[in-house]
Amino acid sequence: MKRSLFVFVLIALVFSLPQTGKAQCKGFAKKVCKAELYPFIHDGNYHAAILTEGEEAELYKTFYSDQEYRVAICGSVGLPNVEFQIVDAHRNVLYINRNDNYTNTWDFKLESSQQLKIVVKVLKAGDGTEEPVSGCVAIMFGFKIK
């Protein structure tokens, strides 16, 4: 009886830990990153994940013509620079923040509606002798009302 209770508690703990980290990351996106969109209107979606130095993530999103947008990328305190790039369906890089001193926002307007890929990567900070740093990285989108 004690053994089965222990196993049940252990399984419950294992399944609850990733959700806690995910919830905290979403909270980070809401509290910290949403402010980066101002004066644009947040689209209502929160895209956030815990990434480690050297890891990258991709997100696809449809953007519509003649609409002004802002993309904001935020990394939690202690993370190295977060590089992001915006790529179209033909693999043309439309923007990369490395060319703008790793700024965390980009404002743009497209001539035609299209799906774009947003690629974020947490750069490596040190010489590789230290334990890699992990933290929350959020991708937020805003638009201007015409």
Bridge partner residues of 87 (DSSP): 93, 117
Distance CA 16, CA 92 (A): 40
Give the chain's domain count. 1
Q: What domain range includes position 72?
A: 2-143
SS3 107: strand
For the segment 44-54, what is each residue's pLDDT rounded down to a tens digit? 998 999 999 99
- Residues of the chain predicted below pLDDT 70: 1-23, 126-129
Q: Under 8 Å CB-to-CB from 55, ≥6 apart: which residues?
A: 121, 122
CATH at residue 82: 2.60.120.380
5 CB-contact burial (10 Å; exposed 0-12 / middle 13-18 / buried 19+): exposed
d(Cα 137, Cα 36) in Å, to the nearest integer? 13
Q: What is the pTM of this model?
A: 0.78
- Tens-digit pLDDT profile for residues 63-83: 999 999 999 999 988 889 999
Say how far apart CA 84 and CA 99 lie, in whole Å: 10
Q: Could you give the 3-state DSSP secondary structure of residue 67?
A: coil
